[in-house]
A and B are shown apart, each in its own frame.
Chain A
Amino acid sequence: MTAPSQRVALAGVSVDYGKGPVVTDLDLTVAPGEITALLGQSGCGKSTTLRAIAGLVTPTAGTIHFGEDDVTFTPPWRRELGLVFQNHALFPHLSVARNIEYGLRRRMARPERRQRVAEMLALVGLEELAESEPAQLSGGQSQRAALARALAPGPRILLLDEPFSALDANLRDRMRAEVESIIRKVGVTTVMVTHDQDEAMSMADRVAIMAEGRILEVAEPEDIFRRPALAYTARFVGASNLLAGQIEGTGGTARFRVGETALALAVPKTSVPAAHALAIKPEDVLLDPAAGTDVVLDAQLAGSKFHGAVRDLTWTVPALGGVAVRSRVPAGSAVPEVGGRGRIGWRSDRAALVHDPDRGAA
């Protein structure tokens, strides 16, 4: 079902509701059949971007293309969309089957419609509940019904707005996997909006990090997680430690100077010019590092917090000018008393060089 006409391209899109821009000069391309997640905190403009793609708001600048078609000023009902909201928005006065049939009413004759509804019910496994009222469905069932309804007319683009937020934690994981497999089976181009990084990482082919109405970076989930380009991403996605400093030297001898100390760097595949900070995830900061760890530092334990399966430690490192470094260890690890000394370190290939235009401002 994947076709070039299912490509989505936003170019220079800005949206302004009248109280300053909510989305500014945004570029985004989603390949046919791809799942792209817009990930950001609330108020970052991700939902507004989705509404612009849906045609529910008109951009104040820029263009939106579906395939070759310029849909910037096309009303939503002519965009061939599927839309699933957080509340699933099943029409309460219609049965599940009638909900799914809703988008087919003007498109095909009754027998075809019946057949299509049956196919969709089978696709999401709700055959038994065809005649149920939406109010009788569980969270997962209503999620599946909403997805079936959105996919029934064969939309060019599927838009998901925080689709799992209304579900409880256990169900959420299962529904993510299920929804993803249905989307893959149908092959529809998907843009989803979420504030939940697990959701973005586990479902999307590409993740776009958004803040203050802009897309900061777009990359595959692994890259966003392992090799973020920006300090904001490193902090938001991995809760990384950020050490401000400068690169010294080049190639194999490159080091990163933080305060008095030059830290070993893995050879950067692509040099990161004017990198301002080194990002290391708490789980990559090792306690009593084993041989072969190329960054080892003396530190003093400043704080220790139990979180069930893991324990979060905060260290003060004199050699780095007294900055705090957070590490995350399995809850059973032997940990010194708070105030005690220890050695921490990391493998240099686990540290990422990042830009920090805000210079550490939160």
Chain B
Amino acid sequence: MSARTHHRRRQQGWTGWRVLRTATVVLGFAFVLGPVLPVVVQAFNDSSVFPDRMRGLTLHWFTDLLTYDEFVAGTWTSAKIGIGATALALALGVSTAFAVTRGPRWMSGAGVTSVLMGPIVIPQIVVGLAILQVINQLQLRVGLAGLIVAHGVFVAPFVIRLVAGALETQGTSYEATAMALGSSPARVLTSVTFPMLRPALIASSVFAFTLSFVNVPLSLFLAPSDQRPLPISIYQQMASNRSPVLAALSLLLAVLLLAAAAAVERFLRVRLLQ
């Protein structure tokens, strides 16, 4: 084989690889975004049957949204739960992240870490059922608190991961330098450690809120009958009265969450989506 054909073979191999790589990316997007497309189409379809073939374009499903009281109330409920759960998850997650990265050696072991990641691994239905049982057996009247705690515990591992990762990357040299310059540990925390953690704190807040806002399994078990989070309202509407309004609402939610994430990236200069 001459050097020339050898060279060409190698180039062909290279092209084949590139085609394969592009195809993989395209397929990946198709699988992720494909199922969403029909919902987008139905949200603008001028037909009261859902789903239906295209019968014309309309925006009135979006304006109809406001006439559904349970959706408006559900949005508020979900926002309240989301804010509560995020606050709880930050408190739990940030302190745990410090323990894992700055605490004694036994706290940073693989065993401890896998226990901390538990809430992600254990099926939410099991967790939801378990919490419900405890609440019923103790005959507590908890209102939204039960849901806030459940959501908070569920999203805390994401906060731990992000914040512990940031602390690990930060290392201890910044803190040591600040101490040498005369700052007590408390002042090091407020003047160096937390300001440097800002991106991780913002990112984990956004993730925590989003995960809580869209959560179904935990809410299904724990939502009080008079205060239903938005996803549960949607689910119940879907079961009783299928309407294109649901498609409009889903699309609106997706766009709003994306826009919020983009705004955080843009204005707070934090990487969320990249």
Q: Which residues of A contact B (CB under 8 A)?
A: 18, 54-56, 75-87, 89, 91-93, 102-103, 106-107, 149-150, 153, 155, 159
Chain B 195-209, CB within 8 Å of chain A: the 1/0 string? 110100000000000
- Beyond A54-B180, A77-B184, A153-B182, list 18 extra A-B contacts (CB 8 Å): A75-B179, A76-B179, A76-B180, A77-B181, A77-B183, A79-B180, A83-B180, A85-B176, A86-B173, A89-B174, A91-B174, A91-B178, A93-B196, A93-B198, A102-B178, A102-B191, A103-B181, A150-B180
With both beta carbons as reference points, the residue of chain A lying nearest to B104 in the complex is identified as A18
Interface status of B117 (Cβ within 8 A of chain A): no
Interface status of B177 (Cβ within 8 A of chain A): yes
Which chain A residues border B179 with CB–CB below 8 Å?
55-56, 75-77
List residues 149-187 of chain B with CB under 8 A from any CB of chain A. 171, 173-174, 176-184
Bound state CA distance, A168 and B105, in angstroms?
35
Q: By the criterion CB–CB under 8 Å, are B198 and A81 in contact?
A: no
The A contact surface, by secondary structure, is loop
Whether A81 contacts B180 in the complex (CB less than 8 A), given A91-B196, A93-B196, comes out as yes
Query: What 7 pairs between A and B have smallest CB-CB spacing?
Result: A103-B181, A83-B180, A81-B180, A76-B179, A89-B173, A85-B173, A93-B195
Whether A77 contacts B173 in the complex (CB less than 8 A), given A91-B192, A91-B196, comes out as no
B interface residue count range (under 10 / 10 to 19 / 20 to 34 / 35 or more): 10 to 19
Q: Can you list 20 pairs linking A and B with CB atoms under 8 Å apart? A: A54-B176, A55-B179, A76-B176, A77-B179, A79-B180, A81-B180, A89-B174, A89-B176, A91-B192, A91-B195, A92-B196, A93-B198, A102-B181, A103-B181, A106-B182, A107-B182, A149-B181, A150-B180, A150-B181, A155-B180
Interface centre among A18, A79, A85, A86 (most CB of B within 10 A): A85
Which chain B residues border A75 with CB–CB below 8 Å?
179, 184
Which chain A residues border B177 with CB–CB below 8 Å?
83-85, 89, 149-150
Which chain A residues border B191 with CB–CB below 8 Å?
102
Which of B176, B181, B182, B183 is in CB contact (< 8 Å) with A56?
B176
Q: By the criterion CB–CB under 8 Å, are A77 and B192 in contact?
A: no
With both beta carbons as reference points, the residue of chain B lying nearest to A56 in the complex is identified as B176
Which chain A residues border B184 with CB–CB below 8 Å?
75, 77
Q: By the criterion CB–CB under 8 Å, are B176 and A153 in contact?
A: no
Bound state CA distance, A76 and B176, in angstroms?
8
Bound state CA distance, A70 and B171, in angstroms?
29
Which chain A residues border B198 with CB–CB below 8 Å?
93
Q: By the criterion CB–CB under 8 Å, are A82 and B180 in contact?
A: yes
With both beta carbons as reference points, the residue of chain A lying nearest to B188 in the complex is identified as A77
With both beta carbons as reference points, the residue of chain B lying nearest to A103 in the complex is identified as B181
Taking the nearest CB of chain B, how far is it from the CB of A335, in angstroms?
Answer: 38
Which chain B residues border A150 with CB–CB below 8 Å?
177, 180-181
